[in-house]
Amino acid sequence: MEIKGIITPIITPMYDDESVNYDELKNQINRLINAGLHGLFFFGTNGESYILTAEEKKKILEVAVETVNHRVPVYAGTGCISTKETIQMSKMAESIGADVLSIITPWFAAVSQSELLTHYKAIAAEVKTPIVLYNIPGRTGANIAPSTVGELASVDNIVGAKDSSGNFNTMLQYLDATKGKDFSVLSGNDALILWCLLAGGTGGIAGCSNVYPKNIVGIYDNFIQGNIEQAKICQSSIQSLRNVFQYGNPNTIVKKATQLLGYPVGNCRAPFNQIPAEGIEVLKKVLAEYKKNGME
């Protein structure tokens, strides 16, 4: 299993009553695969993992694995606060057929690097599926130190790390700490995908690829082909969309943007679903400009 390319942290479509819209989930899966995405990540931040029940996650993953049908790797976010529950969720995802487990750090209670090492090693010992560490300190309050990533990279089935800290130096330190090991570093910040690749990383888990999948795929595909200037154009073109993030949660903006493109994905679950009127108008203007430019 190669951890590389552009992986979409796919949104979870919902009806107005906040129940999961499985028909539209299938539609989004096919839409993204047809656009050339290299993997689909279920239960990331954009998938509203923080607000889905364990039962919902099980059904969503069952539908996902069946719909994807081995066309691209299926990543499943299985991280919970406790080690015990994370192992349970990881085994569930493994039994359904997930190809990769993405495991976020525990949150709310402060966690030490020693505790993180024990946590991840215990999980890795209970499953055979490859594991990608998920570092997003802005949401969890926990940062996986580069030295911790370096030690965990020696565990057979811990094969990569997604860094969503937004700190490029952290990503560089992850690359340095895992140099010479069979380990992938992915950008979890859409603005840093190309720079991650240029530094030696292998791709990105990109929320904006829910909105403009072909453009985001263009960052990676052009990089691989050696067309760095075109990759830069694809990278810089999403900045207008990212600027709208100032009006709400980034995943709320991404879901609303996808909805405004005409896909019935619904809103994020309350209370994380509000965007001020000014933000909606700015978003509509950005999408109109992208449409004029032929962005897909």
User: Could you tell me the CATH number of the domain that includes residue 128?
Assistant: 3.20.20.70
The DSSP bridge pattern shows strands 203-205 and 158-163 to be: unpaired
Residue 249 near residue 272, CB atoms below 8 Å: yes
User: What is the structure's pLDDT at 144?
Assistant: 98
Residue 5 near residue 39, CB atoms below 8 Å: yes
Rounded distance between C-alpha atoms, residue 140 and residue 114, angstroms = 17
User: What is the structure's pLDDT at 102?
Assistant: 98
Handedness of CA 51, 130, 141, 121 (dihedral sign): positive
Q: Which residue has the tokens 């000014």?
A: 278
Residue 97 near residue 71, CB atoms below 8 Å: no
Rounded distance between C-alpha atoms, residue 66 and residue 29, angstroms = 11
Please check whether residue 227 lies inside any domain of the structure: yes
Please check whether residue 259 lies inside any domain of the structure: no
The DSSP call for residue 73 is P
Nearest to 141 by CA among 186, 173, 110, 181: 110
User: What is the structure's pLDDT at 1?
Assistant: 79
User: What is the structure's pLDDT at 110?
Assistant: 94
* Residue range(s) defining the domain that contains residue 84: 5-236
The first and second tokens of residue 17, run together, are 């009553």
Query: How many domains does the structure of the chain reveal?
Result: 1
pLDDT tens track, the chain, 296 positions: 799 999 999 999 999 999 999 999 999 999 999 999 999 999 999 999 999 999 999 999 999 999 999 999 999 999 999 999 999 999 999 999 999 999 999 999 999 999 999 999 999 999 999 999 999 999 999 999 999 999 999 999 999 999 999 999 999 999 999 999 999 999 999 999 999 999 999 999 999 999 999 999 999 999 999 999 999 999 999 999 999 999 999 999 999 999 999 999 999 999 999 999 999 999 999 999 999 999 99
Nearest to 150 by CA among 172, 125, 129: 172
Write out the catalytic residue numbers: 134, 162
Please check whether residue 143 lies inside any domain of the structure: yes
Please check whether residue 195 lies inside any domain of the structure: yes
- Distance set, CA 57 to CA 14, 47, 215 (Å): 13, 10, 29
- Distance set, CA 53 to CA 42, 50, 59, 286 (Å): 13, 9, 10, 34
Please check whether residue 290 lies inside any domain of the structure: no
